[in-house]
Amino acid sequence: MEVPLRPEMFDFHGVSMTNVITDNWDNVQNFKARPDDILISTYPKAGTTWISYIIDLLYFENMDPDRQTSIPLHERVPFLEICVPPLPSGTDLADKLPTTPRLIKTHLPVQFVPKSFWEQRCRVVYMARNAKDNVVSYFHFNRMNSALPEPGDWSTFLQDFMEGKRVYGSWYDHVNGWWEKKQTYSDFHYMFYEDLIEDYEKEIDRLCSFLGLSPSVEEKERVRASVTFDSMKQNKMTNYSTVPVMNQEVSPFMRKGPTACWATFVSQYLLSPVVLIKYTFSYTLSRLAAF
């Protein structure tokens, strides 16, 4: 199968992008959201797969046992803006989804979200992850995924990331842009990866309350068992082992998860308090403000 190899980055309305994201732009912008759609949004590597799988199971775990073993998660929760021919585009997959509600994933900065999602008052779940673990994860993901540009070495990648010059642009603008949207758009649930690790049950209860779901204790337990890091790492439907552009021998998709270590970041930027304040302090304040 023909796959794009290491596409070039370019400036797209002020954000670093590649053609894999922009080639289907008109269809993405004209996408017809439905009122019961749920948009799952993240900066890449913030735990998109984890939260997508949780929501998928909360809605559809009881529906059809074959679905859980035969349809990879990225087909159940299409990636709205992706376009890698000959694979079906994200918009095509979303248009053909047989389930209700449709769960749709995006990494777009908030200003690029198709307007029908807002017009239809779709519910939005955004998950943020701290910049340090996020950038380490993104670096390894760029190494193993040939649909992304070459990462270069770690210090170059880190510098690019800090300057907002990796695909999807600035982490800071992304988490902040969506945070600001939350202030004016009520059908919005903003979550933090770290909170989900620290107090999974509380976060799931908050999520269910937002979604209007009341799973039984047994259902919640089953979901919990399925979405542990180890279960998802073993599960071919969630570990991306079926995706040809990802070389898991270079770096597994499910890499470290909850035990991720950002020591490299800190050692590199220990002498830059401004950077640490911007990327750590303000993030922690937002986490506190979410309560």
CB atoms inside a 10 Å sphere around CB 43: 26
Structural contact between residues 285 and 192, judged by C-beta atoms closer than 8 angstroms: no
Catalytic member of 13, 74, 107, 140: 107
What SS3 state is found at 235?
coil
Exactly one of 18, 24, 49, 146 binds ligand A3P (CB under 6 A); which one?
49
107 an active-site residue? Answer: yes
Q: Taking the complex as a whole, how short is the minimal distance between the CB of residue 17 and ligand A3P, in angstroms? A: 17
Alpha helices in 30-164 (DSSP H): 48-60, 65-70, 73-76, 90-96, 115-119, 131-144, 154-162
Which lies closer to ligand A3P via its Cβ, residue 89 or residue 145?
145
92-131 positions binding ligand A3P, by CB under 6 A? none
Q: Tokens 């779901």 belong to which residue?
A: 213
Q: Taking the complex as a whole, how short is the minimal distance between the CB of residue 84 and ligand A3P, in angstroms? A: 16
Exactly one of 42, 91, 106, 235 binds ligand A3P (CB under 6 A); which one?
42
Considering only the stretches 12-20, 39-47, 87-95, 217-225, report the one whose residues sit in contact with ligand A3P under the rule CB under 6 A: 39-47
Q: Taking the complex as a whole, how short is the minimal distance between the CB of residue 223 and ligand A3P, in angstroms? A: 11
Looking only at the bridges linking them, the beta strands covering 123-128 and 103-106 are unpaired
Q: Taking the complex as a whole, how short is the minimal distance between the CB of residue 19 and ligand A3P, in angstroms? A: 20
Q: How far apart are CA 6 and CA 88, in angstroms?
A: 19
128-187 positions binding ligand A3P, by CB under 6 A? 133, 137, 140
Which lies closer to ligand A3P via its Cβ, residue 46 or residue 103?
46
Q: Taking the complex as a whole, how short is the minimal distance between the CB of residue 78 and ligand A3P, in angstroms? A: 14
Helix (H) or strand (E) holding 26: helix 25-29
Exactly one of 28, 235, 254, 265 binds ligand A3P (CB under 6 A); which one?
254
Q: How far apart are CA 88 and CA 85, in angstroms?
A: 7
* Residue 45 contacts ligand A3P per CB under 6 A: yes
Looking only at the bridges linking them, the beta strands covering 10-12 and 15-17 are antiparallel
- Which residues are the active-site residues? 107
